[in-house]
Amino acid sequence: MMDKEVRVLIGSPIRQEPEILKVFLDSLSRLEKDGISADYFFIDDNDDNISMALLSNYATDAKENVIIEQGNKKEPYIRGENTHYWKESLVWKVAEYKNRIIEYSKQEGYDFLFFIDSDIVLHPKTLTHLIRANKDIIAEIFWTKWYKDSIELPQVWLYDHYSLVPKMRLEKIDRVESDKRYNRFIGQLKKPGIYEVGGLGACTLISKHALNIGVNFKEIYNISFWGEDRHFCIRAAALGLKLYVDTTYPAYHVYRKGDLSGVEAFNNKNNVENIE
């Protein structure tokens, strides 16, 4: 139980295939919320009528308050069984959606904003556990094959665009040392705990304090790194905030339709009851 009731806004811009959206919404329904007053803010950017209906039905059936705003739905988003293809304009459209959710959270005075991508399946204890971590910005880890034949990697990183090798600025290391440090860092992330990182996204709890001092997803014009999450993380660090990842209750990423086959095993492993 929380010491006092905590108000949380769960936010997500959504353009998703129905099969994946269903397991995402089921996962939200299973979240433990002892001591939590949770509301939802979805931006419906779906171009699939079934996905739109799933989202609308979730709002109708939910015990909590669910706000759905309509996106502009004009720009196609291409994804396949190999990877996802993000146009620059689409990235910043999503950033605008996320900033709209941030503004609402600030206006309504929520204690936390929990951003979650619509292809994530959560462990039921995720939200309560992240709140108890008492961090301004903390993500729950998940692992993804960013390309179908690649190895699984985390959605967090240490520096720059996606560096997973700890080292000092301007430090020169050879390939053997680089591989050793890389393996040590990856190994650490597979052990339950909370670790400081340099970048994160997709499954992130943000405190009221962090929101009020100015974290957001707006483009930083003099940084060329791709992706709104990188601009969010750089801005957070510039504001004096630390970024953390929790690895106690890893989420499951349904990055492609083929990953749906792993949802049942994930739920069974975590003793999650099925929702029909």
Parallel, antiparallel, or unpaired: how do β-strands 6-14 and 36-44 relate?
parallel
Where is average pLDDT lowest: 61-75, 149-163, 181-195?
61-75
pLDDT of residue 275: 47
Q: What is the mean pLDDT of residues 118-127?
A: 98
Q: Is residue 243 pLDDT above 90, yes or no?
A: yes
Is the pLDDT reported for residue 114 higher than 50? Answer: yes
Q: Is the dihedral of CA 54, 60, 64, 66 positive or negative?
A: positive
Whether residue 258 is predicted with pLDDT greater than 70 in this model: the reply is: yes
Banded pLDDT at 276 (limits 50, 70, 90): very low
Residue of 187, 31, 49, 207 lying closest to 133 (CA atoms): 207
Per DSSP, the three-state class of 275 is: coil
pLDDT in tens, 1-41: 567 899 999 999 999 999 999 999 999 999 999 999 999 99
What is the mean predicted confidence (pLDDT) over 124-148?
A: 96
pLDDT range class, residue 231, cuts 50, 70, 90 = very high
Residue 241 pLDDT more than 80? yes
Taking residues 110-120, what's their average pLDDT?
98
What's the pLDDT at 214?
Answer: 98
Rg (CA), the chain: 18
Gap between the Cα atoms of 76 and 10, Å rounded: 25
- Give the pLDDT confidence score for residue 42 in this predicted structure: 98
Give the integer Cα–Cα distance in Å for 208 and 3: 17
CA quadruple 154, 155, 156, 162: dihedral positive or negative? positive
pLDDT for res 171 = 95
**Position 84 pLDDT exceeds 60:** no
**What is the chain's mean pLDDT, rounded?**
93
Task: Check pLDDT > 70 for residue 83.
Answer: no
CA distances from 244 to 141, 157, 209, 257, 275 (A): 10, 10, 15, 29, 31
